[in-house]
A and B are shown apart, each in its own frame.
Chain A
């Protein structure tokens, strides 16, 4: 089966940097994705790592280490609007290539 572990809550100050970690167990790894979800909203795609290393998209970066079955999402120059839940996800070949999501990390950005 598949499992993903990420912290349930993280709090950080506006302007700071925060890292959200994700460890996974899966058979047949196709890459690690990250999604953002604001309260009451739908998840939206942030980033995807298929290979080891860092992918940067503006203030957000995502890192993957396949040998360690580990990745993280790095958010820089935090803004109040970054308060949301962040989910890591891996693809499941069995389920029409659906994504299996972690339970999510609730990020609270404080002034």
Chain B
């Protein structure tokens, strides 16, 4: 069966510090991978998506970046965090474009202070 792992669960970082959030998927190959961010009490905003290794597309210009060094690994990074980067970060995957179901990781609650 397929599983998705996302860590850490919570993170408190000072402004200006770097960030690295990791997401891995098991039990499937060549998934489409996505990073979403959710502000408190708000909807989900798509940040990045990837349809293959090394292929990253950004939806929203910001100081975040993403990488996909392996087929089932998706990393969200920042060199210098801003206060506005606080939020709930969710990694998600799907098996190809015909599958409607998105599977989400458990999320990372990031607080930038």
Residues of chain A at the chain B interface (Cβ within 8 Å): 30-31, 33, 35, 40-45, 48, 50, 87, 91-92, 95-104, 106
Contact = CB atoms under 8 A, between A and B. Distances in A.
A12 B10 CA distance: 32
A102 B44 CA distance: 8
Given A41-B106, A43-B44, A96-B34, A33 B100 contact: yes
A97 B98 CA distance: 9
Interface residues of B, number: 24
Given A42-B106, A102-B43, A95 B100 contact: no
Nearest to A30: B100
B102 interface: yes
15 contacts: A31-B100, A33-B100, A42-B106, A43-B102, A43-B104, A44-B104, A45-B100, A87-B43, A92-B46, A95-B49, A95-B57, A96-B32, A96-B50, A98-B49, A103-B42
Contacts of B97: 96-97
B101 A45 contact: yes
A44 B107 CA distance: 12
Interface of B: 32, 34, 41-44, 46, 49-51, 57, 59, 90, 94, 97, 100-107, 109
Q: Which of A91, A98, A101 has the most CB of B within 10 A?
A: A98
Contacts of B94: 97
Contacts of A106: 41
Contacts of B102: 35, 43, 45, 98-99
Contacts of B34: 96, 98
A99 B43 CA distance: 12
Contacts of A99: 46, 102
A69 B11 CA distance: 40
A33 B101 CA distance: 8
A96 B50 CA distance: 7
